[in-house]
Amino acid sequence: MRFSKFLFLPALWVLSAFPSPVQALTLTIRTDSPGKPISPMLFGIFFEDLNYAADGGLYAELVQNRSFEYSALDRPDWNALTGWQLLKRAEGDGTAYIGDARPLGPNNPRYLELHCRAGREGSAVGLSNSGFGGIVLKAGEGYTFSVFARQQPGRHFSWQVCLESRDGTILDSRDLPPLSSDWKPYSAVLHPKESTDSGRIVLWIHGDGVIYLDMVSLFPQNTFKNRKNGLRRDLAEVIADLKPRFVRFPGGCLVHGDGLSNLYRWKDTIGPVEHRKAQKNIWRYHQTVGLGYFEYFQFCEDIGAEPVPVMAAGVSCQNTDRYWGVGQQAVPLEKMPEYIQEVLDLIEWANGAPDSTWGRLRAQAGHPEPFNLKYLGIGNEDAMTPAFRERFEMLYRAVKAKYPDITVIGTVGPAPEGFDFEEGWKFADALRLEMVDEHGYKSPQWFWSNLNRYDRYDRTKSKVYLGEYAAHEPDRRNTLRSALAEAAYMIALERNGDLVRMASYAPLLGKHGNTQWNPNLIYFTNTEVLRTANYYVQMLFGTHAGDRYLPANLDPPLSDEKKFAFSAVRDSRNGDIIVKMVNGDAQAVTLTLNLQGLPQAETPAIQTLLTADTPDACNTFRSPNDIVPKTAPITLRDEQTFTAAPYSLTVLRIPRQK
Ligand code: AHR
């Protein structure tokens, strides 16, 4: 053993020539080996509009129910006026109705009809919206107000848009141009003079008669990458920091929906927002689809991730019958050609020339270059019924016939075992699918007990996309214990990265107070973003990914009860070597770390440690930094003693030796 210099490092990191390990354990890593090629896109994300992830979340629109399309179908206590309040000034008075006789278009059938009695000097009728629990306004930033409006012919109105704080202080206002008796768009940019977390937008109308309003919108100009109709910057940045290699979207159960009438139809989600078709969200709220397919693909491009859209396999979600809905319904066979065409059209929209039928719409939206779609998910956790199989096969064959280069990802049920899983795999084998989507929500112990799962898979069969997984505590908290179980599993995924091509934690986002599902990777309020311990695990694997798995061996091997996992990968883009170790136990693991191939001389490296005193630790809004990665320089040699702290994930990044 050669002696390395003592390094004094914070907390629990110990790297020294002394003392000798309590147990004579040696972890040998062949840093000079070419290694086994593994998927360069192993770690990505899965975005679903669940827990207010899109409307009221990532989609930056600040007005709730902007197009008066909310209804009791979304939620029993909602209606078309939910989110709106009528205000009166001086002798002004008014009545709000919902109209549908002369809509903006067939996809946007309802609008507000405001009967105003506010013609007297100083009188006005107001209409206010406080967004999703108070509009956050920042002093000095620009906010684009826009609306479609028309008026009863022959009347005269003046109108004004205001941003107000909760106590009614006017933060900015703009007079709006005269109304016409035909639908016309109106807009103004406002700059609040003060910041508030609980603002509202108010339209004040002065005059007698009826005015009609739809698509009342307030959008921050400061969105992610300053995109119009874009994403909430702080949330999008935290997602981008994961360095995801792909994004699976838009669900999940959302895709196959509650019955056929609730399938996610991508064509309803593109083009001008006022012509998109909102619908109920299977998670029991409303989807405006303002965040639609164009925005999803653009986000992927903005963060350097491959888009992985998922289309329903011609059947709806079987699970809704257990709670509130209709269960699995199948597109009638005579309608399948139409549905198949819808799937093929998506590929043309994403990849087709700007003069192709669907590529033209992408170009008109501002993206003449193709999006280079390579993957398409068909189905999500579907029950393996004859109806599903028949429709999946039709879709699969049609896609492969027209677009042989597109990788179609099949589905093998909601769990990593059971009927749908077994039957799903048999079906995939029969069709010789390139890839299937496995899901697994299990206890932390399950993850530790299944680290060898993929080592046993037949390499001649379909590749695996682990599209949804999370370690679930009995109380569904994002504990360090759950995060470390996931980290250990991700290490096993790296080792099996020849077979497992992609993996994504689920779900990604949860709005505090509006969750239908826990745990989630990231929690947020209107003003804050909380990174969980699980988030930091994903982030560390995303930022320290490799494309070659290096031989790594622990001698003697530890018993199955011991919670210790390790991997070594190389990122061939820069030659860096990354060693990861997870210790899920209360005792430190001290070992001789033998980095074969590293020079004897001191090699500068970076180590990152994610740990806390107890496996029950959790980041919370009150205490968001209890579990955060800590990074420090370290000097490595070909051999040294290393201690993996209790309850920890350690990442050692060794830059390529010049
Ligand atoms: O991730 C939450 C849900 O879990 C997904 O919508 C579904 O696919 C799974 O059951």
pLDDT per position as a tens digit, 378-409 = 999 999 999 999 999 999 999 999 999 999 99
Does the C-beta of 468 come closer than 6 Å to ligand 1? yes
Does the C-beta of 252 come closer than 6 Å to ligand 1? yes
Q: What is the DSSP letter of 361?
A: H
**Alpha carbon 289 to chain centroid, angstroms:** 15
pLDDT per position as a tens digit, 96-138 = 999 999 999 999 999 999 999 999 999 999 999 999 999 999 9
Q: What is the mean pLDDT of residues 598-619?
A: 94
- How far the first Cα of the chain sits from its last, in Å, is 25
Q: How far is the CA of 65 from the centre of ligand 1 (A)?
A: 25
Judged against a pLDDT cut of 60, whether residue 19 lies above it is answered with: no
Does the C-beta of 414 come closer than 6 Å to ligand 1? yes
- 471-474-480 Cα angle (round to 5): 50
- 128-296-382 Cα angle (round to 5): 105
Judged against a pLDDT cut of 80, whether residue 657 lies above it is answered with: no
Look up tokens 């003697």; give the residue: 556
Does the C-beta of 250 come closer than 6 Å to ligand 1? no
DSSP readout, 584-633? -SSS-EEEEEEEETS-SS-EEEEEEEEE-SSTT-B--SSSTTSS--EEEE
Task: Output the residue whose Cα is nearest ligand 1's atom 8.
Answer: 252
- Check residue 319 and give its pLDDT: 87
pLDDT per position as a tens digit, 523-581 = 999 999 999 999 999 999 999 999 999 999 999 999 989 999 999 999 999 999 999 99
Task: Output the residue whose Cα is nearest ligand 1's atom 2.
Answer: 507
Q: How far is the CA of 325 from the centre of ligand 1 (A)?
A: 16
- What element of type H or E holds 510? strand 509-511
**Alpha carbon 326 to chain centroid, angstroms:** 27
Contact 147, 216 (CB under 8 A): yes
Does the C-beta of 251 come closer than 6 Å to ligand 1? yes
Q: What is the mean pLDDT of residues 603-621?
A: 98
If one residue of 411, 436, 517 were mutated to test the ligand 1 pocket, choosing by the most ligand atoms within 8 A of its CB, it would be 517
Q: What is the mean pLDDT of residues 616-633?
A: 98
Task: Output the residue whose Cα is nearest ligand 1's atom 3.
Answer: 252
Does the C-beta of 253 come closer than 6 Å to ligand 1? yes
Task: Output the residue whose Cα is nearest ligand 1's atom 4.
Answer: 252
Which residue type sits at 130? S
Ligand 1: atom nearest CA of 381 is: 8
Q: How far is the CA of 460 from the centre of ligand 1 (A)?
A: 28
Q: How far is the CA of 250 from the centre of ligand 1 (A)?
A: 11
SS (H, E, C) 168-219: CCEEEEEECCCCCCCCEEEEEEECCCCCEEEEEEEEEEEEEEEEEEEEEEEE
Neighbours of 526 (CB within 10 A): 18
If one residue of 468, 509, 517 were mutated to test the ligand 1 pocket, choosing by the most ligand atoms within 8 A of its CB, it would be 468
Does the C-beta of 438 come closer than 6 Å to ligand 1? no
- Check residue 320 and give its pLDDT: 85
Q: How far is the CA of 371 from the centre of ligand 1 (A)?
A: 26
Judged against a pLDDT cut of 60, whether residue 60 lies above it is answered with: yes
- Dihedral angle of Cα 587, 540, 441, 484, to the nearest 10 degrees: 10
Q: How far is the CA of 50 from the centre of ligand 1 (A)?
A: 9
Alpha-carbon Rg for the chain in angstroms: 28
Task: Output the residue whose Cα is nearest ligand 1's atom 6.
Answer: 252
Ligand 1: atom nearest CA of 254 is: 6
| Pairing verdict, β 522-524 and 14-16 | unpaired
Ligand 1: atom nearest CA of 517 is: 2
CA distances from 306 to 152, 372, 373, 387 (A): 49, 8, 7, 31
Q: Count Cβ neighbours within 10 Å for each residue of 616-647 and write b for 16 or more, e otherwise.
A: ebbbeeeeeeebebeeeebebbbbbbbbbbbb
Q: How far is the CA of 107 from the centre of ligand 1 (A)?
A: 28
Contact 105, 268 (CB under 8 A): no
Q: How far is the CA of 252 from the centre of ligand 1 (A)?
A: 5
Q: What is the DSSP letter of 407?
A: E
pLDDT per position as a tens digit, 334-357 = 999 999 999 999 999 999 999 999
Task: Output the residue whose Cα is nearest ligand 1's atom 7.
Answer: 252
Neighbours of 273 (CB within 10 A): 22
This prediction's pTM: 0.95
- Dihedral angle of Cα 25, 28, 29, 30, to the nearest 10 degrees: 180
Q: How far is the CA of 241 from the centre of ligand 1 (A)?
A: 23
Does the C-beta of 381 come closer than 6 Å to ligand 1? yes
Residues with active-site annotation: 381
Q: For residue 279, what are the β-bridge partners?
A: 287
Q: How many residues does the chain have?
A: 658
Does the C-beta of 379 come closer than 6 Å to ligand 1? no
If one residue of 381, 420, 472, 505 were mutated to test the ligand 1 pocket, choosing by the most ligand atoms within 8 A of its CB, it would be 381
**Taking Cα atoms as reference points, which of 235, 212, 241 lies closest to residue 222?**
235
- Check residue 590 and give its pLDDT: 97
Which residue type sits at 312? A
Q: Which residues make Cβ contacts (< 8 Å) with residue 535, sequence separation at least 6? A: 238, 242, 521, 522
| Tokens matching residue 541 | 């694997």
Does the C-beta of 645 come closer than 6 Å to ligand 1? no
Judged against a pLDDT cut of 80, whether residue 20 lies above it is answered with: no
